[in-house]
Amino acid sequence: MANILDYIEWRGDLPIDDVPLSEADALVFSRAAYMPLEGLLGESDGPVPLGELYTALAEQFASGEKQQLIEGDEKLCRLMARAPRYANIGAANYVNIVDEFSEKQFSAVTFVLPDGICVAFRGTDGTVLGWKEDFNMAFSDVVPAQMDAVKYLERSAHLFDGSIRVTGHSKGGNLAIYASAFCDPETKRRIIAVRSHDGPGFSDKIANTEEYIQTMPLVRTFLPQSSVIGMLMVHREETVIVKSTEHALMQHDLYSWCVRRGGFERVEELTDMSRFVDDTLKRWVCEMPVADRGKMVEAVFKVIGTGGTSAIKDIMAGTHSITMVRAYASLDPESKRVVSDGLRILRECASAAEARRKASKAAKV
């Protein structure tokens, strides 16, 4: 199955002036937002042509000076650098902020197009801090990165003329929607499209605001068929389901999404697993006492953050299991209660969701 790397090889010779931006281009820019541009591009730099910028970055990947976040990033840079469709696009206003105190990880870059700009927000970067902010997002109305996203979008709008497109993957998709909904009226007037790729939704409080509702006609969310992250919280926008070559949570990887020509290979509906997770998690958030939600996030990440690691992949590998068990044992009684109650409610929600799934399946027979 073809992915965005194949798409660039197929259509990279077609200048944007001649062939308008497509669904696949928005996905390319969303992945490009993850590129580590430190030392190559700053907040006050640019626009720097991608042909120049990504050639230098690909060389840094190849030499080991910088590490790819996931396999495929070096090839993406090389393909975009030499493709007429992307090589002359300018990149500007790159920011990457990590603030342990406010539990914020925020990064974005602006691509300068012939008719305006595309603002791309980075998603979760694989650090413990980034994942904690995602959990905060699931239990809070607003997180610091969302406020930064509004300011960033307004700044890029001030720097560059023309129409505005906004895109992002994972948390970046959530930021794209939030910034577009709550930016100043002049910036909002220029926005023509907002794209979220498997990004989580919002609390009822945010989703019921006039600003959010008015933005929905511009928004389209793309979800892989077994989406988990993109099913979180409330969504009111148009949704498109995309075929993926991966399974379960690994479908969050944008390189696994199937494309054909300028668009995605669509499927009719989400998998049973995705609907089960959606049902379970939504009920879990609703049924957990509001006062306990933040406490549970704090307790869980106090345990996860032990052992000195900052990367989720190290924790998933199990290298800190013993340290984490000891950290849990050392929690105060109230924190243990909140975690225990939260897991109990999650089990109950999962059992109820499974019962509903079986009943629905039986009714269709």
H or E stretch covering 325? helix 321-329
Kindly tell me if the per-residue pLDDT of 252 is higher than 80. yes
H or E stretch covering 24? helix 23-32
Using DSSP bridges, classify how beta strands 104-113 and 90-99 pair: parallel, antiparallel or unpaired.
Answer: antiparallel
Structure tokens at 134: 């995602």
Give 44-63 pLDDT, tens digit per residue: 998 999 999 999 999 999 99
d(CA 126, CA 301) in angstroms, rounded, equals 14
The verdict on whether omega for the bond into residue 47 sits within 30 degrees of 0, i.e. cis, is yes
φ, ψ for residue 184 (rounded to 5)? -70, 155
pLDDT computed for residue 342 by the predictor: 80
State the average pLDDT for the chain: 87
pLDDT computed for residue 312 by the predictor: 47
Q: If one looks up domain 4-31+91-270 in CATH, what number appears?
A: 3.40.50
d(CA 317, CA 140) in angstroms, rounded, equals 29
DSSP structural state of residue 56: H
pLDDT computed for residue 295 by the predictor: 81
Count Cβ atoms within 10 A of the Cβ of residue 92 and give its class: 0-12 exposed, 13-18 middle, 19 or more buried.
buried
Percentage with pLDDT > 70 across the chain: 88
DSSP structural state of residue 38: T
Higher model confidence: residue 288 or residue 170? 170
- For the question of whether the overall pTM of this predicted structure is more than 0.85, the answer is yes
CA angle 75, 174, 258 (to 5 degrees): 40
The string of DSSP codes covering 78-129 is HHHHH-HHHHT-EEEEEEEEEETTTTEEEEEEEEEETTEEEEEE----SBHH
DSSP structural state of residue 203: -
Domain limits, the chain: 4-31+91-270, 278-364
Kindly tell me if the per-residue pLDDT of 235 is higher than 70. yes
Cα–Cα nearest to 134, from 164, 160, 172? 172
pLDDT computed for residue 261 by the predictor: 81
Residue 259 DSSP SS3: strand
d(CA 83, CA 158) in angstroms, rounded, equals 29
